[in-house]
Amino acid sequence: MMQPKMTTWLLLALVGATLGPASPARAEDLRIGGIWYRSVRIIRLSDDRLIYESSAGQREVSLAKIQAIRTDRYPELAKADEAFEKSDWAAAADRYSALLPRVREDYLKILISAKLVASLDASKKASAAIQQYLKLVRLDQGALVAAVSPRNMPADTKERKMLLGTVEAQARATSSPTLKPLLQQLSKRLASKEESFDAASAGSLLRQSGPADVVDQLLAAGKNEKALEILKKKQASKSPGSLPKLYYQRGLALAKLGRDEEAALSFMRVVIHFPKSLQRNPSLIEAGKVLRTMKRPGQARDLWTEARKGPEARGEKKTVAEIDKLLASVK
């Protein structure tokens, strides 16, 4: 019996797919826009942008958009981030505070310092948050500093007066067009007699790491039809560089709606047309899951086997283990 055309098309896509370059260096896992990018190699920090290399080649990202980092050098960072995600601000602040003095890498110092500021701010430790913020601005003057500017002011008048003098002095000393207005705003809040506390705003700062992707939010809320409506508009107006993520998101929405063939096609568009994109491997994996649901285990296995090659060559043990579990499910 002749198999459906999509089957042949998917198998041809596998033949035409290419792998990104392997990197023997020790690497980190980055979470950006809710997606984990495994075993990327950090190259350098340039201003407030992190330059890194992945299977898709060299990339850069604003520190403000990095939601989390996993590294074998600091395993306790994962526990601190877990507390942060759960809004356990006191525990998060304690863990970041304990870790920060031992961190050597500038990009990690900045990210951990920013989360420490947000955690202290949300746990009513206003004075400590402002003091830590003043340390942070000596390390970074980019978008991340604006994202974690303390919202909450200490109730004690003497504490406010002491901090106000320090902040005003730093505002006068800086020539940064980004930092000066932030410090001036902080000075105004300290000079005000009103006590403020807003855990919600402080707590949401770095979990979203900048403007939230509305499609990711809709997918997480199970509003898949609405997500598809927005994706249709985005695909009509976005540049080609943004299409891999849009097709990947579309595949996720379609799969959750049970529109399996459309979902598989959307994922495979990423694989075929954007073989060097960061969404290539996630698309292979998700397409395999859809094919397994469609009772096509052989084709799912082919996709997962292909997805495994890149991570295996780059020594991405976590990703390889995840794919191996999927492969075991179709044996």
Give the DSSP H or E segment for 264.
helix 260-273
Domain boundary among 173, 205, 237: 205
Calculate mean pLDDT across residues 43-60. Answer: 80
Q: Count the Cβ atoms, other than its own, within 10 Å of residue 253.
A: 24
Q: What is the percent of the chain with per-residue pLDDT over 70, rounded to a whole number?
A: 81
Distances (CA, A) of 170 to 117, 125, 131, 167, 181: 18, 21, 12, 5, 11
User: How many whole angstroms separate alpha carbon 48 and alpha carbon 63?
Assistant: 6
Q: What is the rounded average pLDDT for all residues in the chain?
A: 79
Sorted by sequence, the CB contacts under 8 Å of residue 183 that are 6+ apart come out as 137, 167, 168, 170, 171, 174
Q: What is the percent of the chain with per-residue pLDDT over 90, rounded to a whole number?
A: 29
Calculate mean pLDDT across residues 161-185. Answer: 85
- The answer as to whether 138 is a domain residue is yes
Per-residue pLDDT, 236? 72
Both 171 and 192 in a single domain? yes
- The answer as to whether 4 is a domain residue is no
Domain that holds residue 96: 69-205
- The answer as to whether 285 is a domain residue is yes
Burial 150-181 (b: 16+ CB within 10 A, else e): bbbbbeeeeebeebbeebbebbeebeeeebbe
User: Would you say residue 31 has pLDDT above 70?
Assistant: yes
Both 220 and 314 in a single domain? yes
127-170 pLDDT, tens digit each: 999 999 989 888 765 667 777 888 888 888 888 899 999 989 98
Both 222 and 266 in a single domain? yes
Domain boundary among 205, 229, 246: 205
Domain boundary among 205, 223, 240: 205
User: Would you say residue 19 has pLDDT above 80?
Assistant: no
Per-residue pLDDT, 131? 92
Both 160 and 96 in a single domain? yes
- The answer as to whether 47 is a domain residue is no
Range with the lowest mean pLDDT among 20-24, 53-57, 169-173, 301-305? 20-24
Both 182 and 234 in a single domain? no
Both 188 and 237 in a single domain? no
- Answer for the pair 46, 10: CB distance below 8 angstroms, yes or no: no
Nearest of 179, 183, 209 to residue 50 by alpha carbon = 209
User: Would you say residue 326 has pLDDT above 50?
Assistant: yes
- The answer as to whether 194 is a domain residue is yes
- The answer as to whether 110 is a domain residue is yes
State the total domains in the chain: 2
**Local confidence band at 15 (pLDDT 50, 70, 90 cut-offs):** very low
62-106 pLDDT, tens digit each: 887 788 888 989 999 999 988 888 778 899 999 999 999 999 988
According to DSSP H, which parts of 86-223 are helical? 89-99, 106-122, 126-139, 143-147, 157-173, 179-191, 199-208, 214-220
268-323 pLDDT, tens digit each: 999 998 887 878 889 999 999 999 999 999 999 999 999 888 766 566 777 888 89
Both 292 and 321 in a single domain? yes
